[in-house]
A = this chain, B = another copy of it.
Amino acid sequence: MIKGDTKTAILDAAQELIQRRGANAMSYQDISEAIGIRKASIHHHFPTKDALLDALIQRYTAYFLGLVDSVVKSKKDPADQLLAYASLFEATLSEGKQDKACLCGMLGAELSSLGSPAAAGVKRFYRENEARLVRILEEGKVRGQFHFKGDAKLVAAMIFSLLEGGALVARAEGGHKRLHAMAEQTLKLLLK
């Protein structure tokens, strides 16, 4: 709280705008209007848009993986862990003024127009998330609770894609409730 508060406000505004509309539809002017600061001041904190995106992805990844780890730690049951993991995507969707998808899901669509540090950050987000899903799935299999055939890595990739894609598709119809129903349905396929 001593310093850097403006930086945080900029990142918060940028994140919300991107989650709602995408990076290419978000401008310094939009951020400026959202938090009541001039464009030039934003450039002082983040010289270029690429730098802003990069910082945003780093912060989001750390924050989101932190949520994942704490939510996974708080449950013993892999099935509960999986639903809790999915609920992070659902919560984003229903947060605030709504229609917010995962930041890195949005950026995935815009990957080829991103700077290379930003693009690398998005890929890392995907990898880290899938790695955590693998752990949940393998634990569930060891316990004799999940009964899927095949590679846990592929099931993890499947579930991750389904949640990222589901967040985007559910914005068009059904919203967070529909995403939740999809997550529960997916769990049913794993349990038997």
Q: Is the CB of A106 within 8 A of B108?
A: no
Q: Is the CB of A166 within 8 A of B173?
A: no
Number of copies: 2
Interface residues as binary, A103-123 with B (CB distance below 8 Å gives 1, 0 otherwise): 001101111110000010011
Q: Is the CB of B185 within 8 A of A169?
A: no
**Interface flag for A59 (CB, 8 Å):** no
**Interface flag for A91 (CB, 8 Å):** no
Q: Closest B residue to A125 by CB, please name it.
A: B172
Q: Is the CB of A166 within 8 A of B172?
A: no
Q: Is the CB of B157 within 8 A of A108?
A: no
- From B99, B113, B185, give the contact of A151 (CB < 8 A): B185
Interface residues as binary, A139-167 with B (CB distance below 8 Å gives 1, 0 otherwise): 00000000011110011011011111110
- From B21, B105, B110, B181, give the contact of A112 (CB < 8 A): B21
Interface residues as binary, A69-108 with B (CB distance below 8 Å gives 1, 0 otherwise): 0000000000000000000000000000001010001101
Q: Closest B residue to A24 by CB, please name it.
A: B24
Q: Is the CB of B105 within 8 A of A165?
A: yes
Q: Is the CB of B169 within 8 A of A166?
A: no
Kindly list the 4 A-B residue pairs having the minimum CB-CB distance in the complex, ordered from nearest: A165-B165, A109-B109, A24-B24, A161-B166
Residues of A within 8 A of B (CB): 20-22, 24-25, 99, 101, 105-106, 108-113, 119, 122-123, 126-127, 148-151, 154-155, 157-158, 160-166, 168-174, 178, 181-182, 184-186, 188-190, 192
30 contacts between A and B (CB under 8 A): A21-B113, A22-B22, A22-B109, A25-B112, A99-B112, A106-B109, A108-B168, A109-B109, A109-B110, A109-B168, A111-B172, A123-B173, A126-B172, A127-B173, A148-B189, A151-B185, A154-B185, A155-B185, A158-B162, A158-B185, A160-B169, A161-B165, A161-B166, A161-B170, A161-B182, A164-B165, A165-B166, A165-B168, A165-B169, A189-B189
